[in-house]
Structure 1
């Protein structure tokens, strides 16, 4: 299947598209969210790191995925989703092994713990750590380092979509039917709203998130490590993602939830901050690996 990058439509167009089709791609942050996280990172890494990223991505043809480009940091940010449907000559999935690397099923109603969700390294936070280590290893095959870079750029974005870090045994909100503002009845689900519609509105509300941030802001937002960021995103899933549509996030989820306009307006700053966090933390990791 050929991977085609969507051009982000305006919201009037989105409404038309939604009326025609309610299928949502199985990817966190869709293209626009991931590309924004990547571009924030690119604007905030050291010059040496930026040059190293571009040097590695010049060899993206080593990935053997002409259907899915990764020659720029923006393209690389969506590569991990684009390759999901690719098959080999025998019809076997080429990247099926990486399916569980995009998320971690940490129940928001249990104490935070990554041991079970990350068993054998099959979760997003474990893969982020693995990718950083691979990039630091200058003796690793160049193809492996290029792939690690593409995965890392994508997975840091995934970790900051709260429903990829915390859920209620509902497939990260995919099983939760939802009404989003005037887009109703419940044709969407909670996951697709946070992946796309809310993320796009948040990114396009206010000044551009893609800019060079002051050093003090970068240091504050990027403080901690992958486990800290996992716990934080998991907490956002509990307090905000589920908490905005249920009085008790751990009560049984209703058959349908509603995000009305006042709720959406309250969520925009939260969703905006998650994208910002993803970008500045990705910059920190890239500097550590390549700078």
Structure 2
């Protein structure tokens, strides 16, 4: 429950005018664009055909007519309150970075991001279910593959994926700024806008290298980045050996941020190409 409340608080914080273009909307859209550029023509046609029925979602304030809009629809609907609050826990998985990787325990009853990815694929493949449910499944799949590649949606340290870890971002400081929001927004925006563009047609060799493995493999990779890169860089050491007070105060100077940009870029690239692979599997 605390994780859900943290997500709600983070959402409210990032809807302020200062962060109207809050990063992870940009991140999700970029991952969707990469995927759309790299799926087969038949898959692209199937995506467009389903999204033309997005009016069936009955969420006029949260459109999903394009793959970019669909990529942020699952975050947009959080503003609609009780109608969709049961979906909050689907955006992450609390796999402790200080324990051996254990996805099964973190995904009890299917309430985690990797389990929902696999569920959405099954729904999309089943053409006997109502079109509205398949449109929802498509929007969720697009979004959740993005979420899985944000390391703090895949690994955490009893801190709601870094939401309880106060952080600066270079010279920028704010009470609401935390380690999770840095990776969601500020760092992601810099990574995406750093040339060359991540949105392009990738070669078959590039795709094969990035898309190997399963959803669980990708989950573990994101978890490892959280454990081995995100926390040590921000906290200056092993989070698992720190007391609670020191583990909740992060610092990122410009030199450290520059080193993290390639890590974030790679995760966004992985998210886009892996989403393309799953979409081709669904519609192929």
**Fold conserved between structures, TM > 0.5:** yes
* RMSD value, Cα: 2.0
Query: 1:249 aligned to 2:239?
Result: yes
Q: 1:69 aligns with which of 60, 63, 67?
A: 63
Separation in structure 2 between the aligned mates of residue 258 and residue 72 of structure 1, nearest angstrom: 38
Tell me by how many angstroms 1:22 deviates: 7.1
Residue-by-residue CA offset, 1:95-148 (whole Å, 9 max, x unaligned)? 111110000000001000111210000000000000011111111111110000
Name the structure 1 match of 2:42: 48
Question: 245, 262, 265: which one pairs with 1:272?
Answer: 265
What CA distance in whole angstroms lies between the structure 1 residues aligned with 2:53 and 2:175? 44
Gaps of 5+ in 2: 1-13
Listed as ranges, the matches of 1:103-142 within 5 Å are 103-142=92-131
Does structure 1 residue 39 correspond to structure 2 residue 33? yes
Relative to structure 1, the CA distance from residue 187 to residue 142 in structure 2 (aligned partners, 3 Å threshold; closer, same or farther) is closer
1:145-164 matched pairs, under 5 angstroms: 145-164=134-153
Q: Does 1:188 align with 2:177?
A: yes
**Number of equivalenced pairs:** 267
Is the 1:24–1:192 contact (alpha carbons within 8 Å) kept by the matching residues of 2? no
Change (3 A) 1:24 1:66: closer
1:211 to 196, 200, 215: 200
- Give 1 or 2: higher helix fraction: 2
State TM-score, norm by structure 2: 0.90
Task: Tell me which residue corresponds to 1:200.
Answer: 189
Q: Is the contact between residue 22 and residue 187 of structure 1 (CA under 8 Å) also seen in structure 2? A: no
Q: Which runs of 5+ in 1 are unaligned?
A: 1-17, 88-92
Aligned to 2:4: none
TM-score where L is the length of structure 1: 0.88
Equivalent residue number for residue 174 of structure 1: 163
Shift of 1:187: 5.0
Moved over 3 A (4+): 20-25
- Tell me how far apart the structure 1 counterparts of residues 19 and 210 of structure 2 sit (CA, whole Å): 34
Please state which structure has a larger fraction of its residues in strand.
Answer: 1
| In structure 1, C-alpha distance between the alignment counterparts of 2:202 and 2:184, rounded to whole Å | 24
